[in-house]
Amino acid sequence: MASNEIPSDVEKNDSSVAEEAEGKRVNDVPINTVLASAGSERQLVRRQDKRILPLSAAIYFLCYLDRSNIGNARVLNSSTRNDMQTETGASEWQFNIALMIFLMGYFLFEVPSNIMLKKFRPSRWLALLMLCWGSVTIGLGGTKSPSQLIGVRFLLGACEAGLFPGLVYYLTFWYKTDERSTRVAIILASATLAGAFGGAIAYGVGHMNQIRGLSGWRWLFILEGTPSCVSALLAWFFLPDYPERASWLTGPEKELAAQRLYVEGSKGSASNLTWEDVKTTLTDWRLYFHYLIYFVVSFPVGSLSLFSPTIVSGLGYHDLDAQLMTIPPWAVAYVCMILVSWSADHFNARGYHAAGSAIVGGISFLVAAVLPPESYRGRYGCLIVGTACTFAGVPAMLGWLTSNLWSTASIGLAVGINVSCGGAGSMPSVWIYKADEALLGYPTGHAVNCAMLFLVAISALGLRYYYGRQNRVLLSSAAEGIVPRLYKL
């Protein structure tokens, strides 16, 4: 691939990192191309994908499994009154507090965790988080009272808080802006697999009820928390930190990786977060529209993550059958996330894809809210479409945010704030699917999710309009022969 000449001081020692581009505004730096053939670049990206994506997706799969299995435990073996809510003696209000307190821990520790990831290296920090949340998940299997349940769930939220924003931040050290949404989708799609497998696992574990005197829900936490503890070793030893430190890359490949990310990526050797970085990021008002979009979409994301088994139980399925019927919505969501994210990156249209997914999802929830309670098949179909479309737009939203940030420190802080806003948005979601509306088909929950998704669509289209207008201004004011770096759309 042909390129303009890159300044010679870009290639520094072994790191080959271009600090010159760190933090500069869009029109301060000409757009970058790499000094290599397209074939070499594709080969490098494939090598990175093989080393990074399977392990990252597996880590997030385990995280999401341990986070959302409380929804399965809540109704597991309820026909014999051996479910989690009954045995811990938690009221509906207390159980919802346990769901929400997890999100409180999640909200409080996301930004600090992202700062620590850069300070201590991704492999070390993520491995520590895995060990901690796996141990806490096993501990959930030993809770015997509402207060214990609430306390342990808070710890679980604190331990898991850094993983997803950490992985999104981590990808910016390896991939260009037009490559990130698809990779985020592959990782985030593992959450939909966790939703599908969670139901299947819960169905199987439900048959272990009272083995060795333990109820099925206790076995569920023990068996799903243990792999996270063991897999922490895989993250510690096999998750690569930064391209410039990757022993499995050749010298030319390391240089190519640095050139690829000269403008569009984070740098492993960049300085840690400073107060100036904090001030610059917090006063960049356009980022708050990204935060708003993620805050709002977290209503349906959070409610579906926690209440899918409950919603399915209101469709005429009960106990173990309800666990099995949670699988199709998550399986369809997996496929949709990958396809929508690839298209968003390929066509540089992340705003339109986020808005389109939200509109279709909102319509699905609207239909589910107005259908008669006995329309089980229709409402189940709406649940499948609503789940798929809700999750399909999320990777594009995250890729859109990181694509429009220009320094390593700012990306880490902004991603942490963004996902923290998601945690805050998920807190009210634990209250919208009301137990006393089960026979009515949960109209309040569906209506709230519908309204939130329509708001996502409006906000995404507004932000897309703003970026498009700013790009036109940048192009019209650029000096002759200079193509400015534009905002990603």
Transcribe 76-135 into DSSP letters: TTGGGT-SHHHHHT--HHHHHHHHHHHHHHHHHHHHHHHHHHHHH-HHHHHHHHHHHHHH
- pTM listed for this prediction: 0.82
The pLDDT of residue 37 is 64
DSSP state of 434: -
pLDDT digits (tens, 9 = 90+) for 322-378: 777 888 898 899 899 999 999 999 999 999 999 999 999 999 999 999 999 889 989
Contact 219, 208 (CB under 8 A): yes
Q: Please give the pLDDT value at position 28.
A: 45
Neighbours of 223 (CB within 10 A): 17
Residue 267, pLDDT score? 72
Tell the burial category of 389 from Cβ atoms under 10 Å away from its Cβ (0-12, 13-18, 19+): buried
3-state SS, one letter per residue, for 167-226: HHHHHCCCCCHHHHHHHHHHHHHHHHHHHHHHHHHHHHHHHHCCECCECHHHHHHHHHHH
397 within 8 A of 297, measured Cβ to Cβ: yes
Give the pair of three-digit tokens for residue 468. Answer: 């498009």
pLDDT at 262: 81
The enclosing H or E element of 382 equals helix 376-392
CA distance 216 to 207: 7
Q: Which residues pair with 211 in a beta bridge?
A: 214
Residue 270 pLDDT: 64
pLDDT at position 409 is 74
Closest CA to 258 of 1, 13, 481, 78: 13
Spans in the chain with pLDDT lower than 50: 1-21, 25-35
pLDDT digits (tens, 9 = 90+) for 14-26: 333 334 445 554 4
3-state secondary structure of 158: helix
Count of CA atoms in the C-beta half-sphere (13 A) of 113 = 32
305 is written with which tokens? Answer: 């993550």
CATH of domain 40-260+274-477: 1.20.1250.20
Helix axes 443-477, 350-370, angle to 10 degrees: 160
**What's the pLDDT score for residue 147?**
96
- 402 and 265 Cβ atoms separated by less than 8 Å: no
